[in-house]
Structures are given as structure tokens and as C-alpha cells.
Amino acid sequence: MEIDLYDVTLGTRVLHLTPHETVVQLDGPRYLPLPIRRNALALGAEAAKAALELDVPPDCELVRQLLAAAVTGETSMLRLRTAQPDAYGGWTFLTRWMGRVLGVEVADDSARIRGESAQVSLKRIGLRRLYSRACAHVLYSAACGATPIVASAVVSNSAGRTVDLAGGVPAAVAGMLSGGWLETASGVRHMIVSESTAGVELLYPAPLAPGDGITLTAGCDHSTATCAARFSNLDNYGGFPFIPTKNPFATGVF
């Protein structure tokens, strides 16, 4: 019997997970059970270069931690090992895949985690920063340098992804919450998709109850106008808004 073992590193935290039905502890860490489905990896020399895709429940701790890491700009690393029983009553471990998490796509019934192999990342030629009109910095990261705009609120009602707030959205962050996040008292962050006068809509449902105290953090649409007006941070803007729109090879220089 072969058992998959996943080690997910998020900053100083490491999650140990397995799709096995029960807790697995073979060589040290305790691997906690989680329904994980993965794509089939290539065989032979190309196996280490293949992309890894995982399907997990959308409300699990792994998804919450990865989304929180994406907000703060932390790089999340992923390692897949397999454990096989040997002829001496022990276990043989084989590292099948190592790389970084590219992103998480959350739907109503599942979340898809996409990973890029470490070999692909190391062999990529040139700079990794994107050349785009909009700012490519992660909001409030060291490269961004903006000062977070936050406000406290109390939940009055929560149904699915919709969270109503007592007294409505605080004036300090009103009109700024799209692309920001809601943080619970325990420190778990949930991305905000949109806001209304009554409250906010989250990317995925959160376990909130009336009376819960939360913190709301303003978001950013990565435009020069928002960077200047909302954060007074245009000196650190990471986009290239004046890239010419006219292609001289297609329309001529004049």
C-alpha cells in the first residue's frame, strides 16, 4: 500500500497532510487526514518538472492558510512524498514532487491548488517580475510599502458568503474593501469580493456568528489613481501605466 504525504510550508508554519483515512505517523511528523485528489504525475525524467494540481475541500485549513499567505505575499512551498512498506517491516520514502504554490481557485464545492515544480522555477530565464500596466506588488508587502487601512466591526448576520455588519461598513474603510480582507479574532483572513452599505461578500463562506468581532482591511485595484488617492504611495507603484498602446510594427511609426 502506497501512502501520499504532503508537506506544505507557509513561512515558519508547516502543515503535514495525507489523503489517508486516518492520522499517519511514520517517520516523525503526524500527517492529518484531508480529502486530497491530485493529478497523475509524469513518469521518468519528466516527473520532477510536471505541474501538480490538488483538489481539496474549500473550507479546509490548508485553503485558508494559502489564501492568507497570498495576501501577505508569502511564498508557499509544497512537497509530495510517497511511503511504501519495505521487506523489513519499515517504510521507504520517495520524494515525488517539490515546488511552490502558484495559486488557489476556490469554488462552491472544491478548491484547486496549482503548483509549479522547483526545477521549472530554477531554470526560468530572466527576471520573474511581471511587466504590466497595473501594479504587480502584493498589497501591503515589503515591495508595496503601503500602510494598511483597517477598521473594527461586529458581525450582525452571516449567511454563506454574505456577512452583514452591525451599523454597516465602518466609514474608515467604506468603498475600499473590494480586494481586501476580513480577519477574525483568531487571525484567520477571508478575502472580500465586494461590499455594500450593510456588509461584505467573501470569496468563500466563513464560520462567523452574530456578535463576532472582526477587523476589515482595505483592498486595492492596483491602479495609479487608487495608489495615489487611497494610500499616497505612488513612489512605490510597481506597474508601468505608460506602456505605449500603439504597436509601430502593426500601424507604422507615424
Within a domain: 144: no
CATH number where 215 lies = 2.40.30.20
**Statement to judge: residues 108 and 163 lie in one domain:** no
Q: Which domain holds residue 88?
A: 3-123
pLDDT at residue number 162 = 94
Least Cα distance to 233 among 142, 169, 152, 158 occurs for 142
- The three-state secondary structure class of 184 is strand
pLDDT at residue number 155 = 95
CATH number where 99 lies = 2.30.110
**Statement to judge: residues 168 and 109 lie in one domain:** no
Q: How many domains does the chain have?
A: 2
Single-letter code of the amino acid located at 122: L
Rg (CA), the chain: 22
pLDDT, tens digit (0-9, with 9 covering 90-100), for 60-97 = 889 888 887 776 677 889 999 988 888 777 788 888 88
pLDDT at residue number 116 = 85
Within a domain: 137: no
pLDDT, tens digit (0-9, with 9 covering 90-100), for 175-200 = 999 999 999 988 888 889 999 999 99
Residues in the chain, pLDDT under 50 = none
pLDDT at residue number 189 = 85
Single-letter code of the amino acid located at 88: Y
**Statement to judge: residues 39 and 78 lie in one domain:** yes
pLDDT at residue number 26 = 82
**Statement to judge: residues 164 and 77 lie in one domain:** no
Please, what is the end-to-end C-alpha distance for the chain in angstroms?
Answer: 69
pLDDT at residue number 44 = 59
Within a domain: 250: no
Give the residues across from 73 on adjacent strands. Answer: none
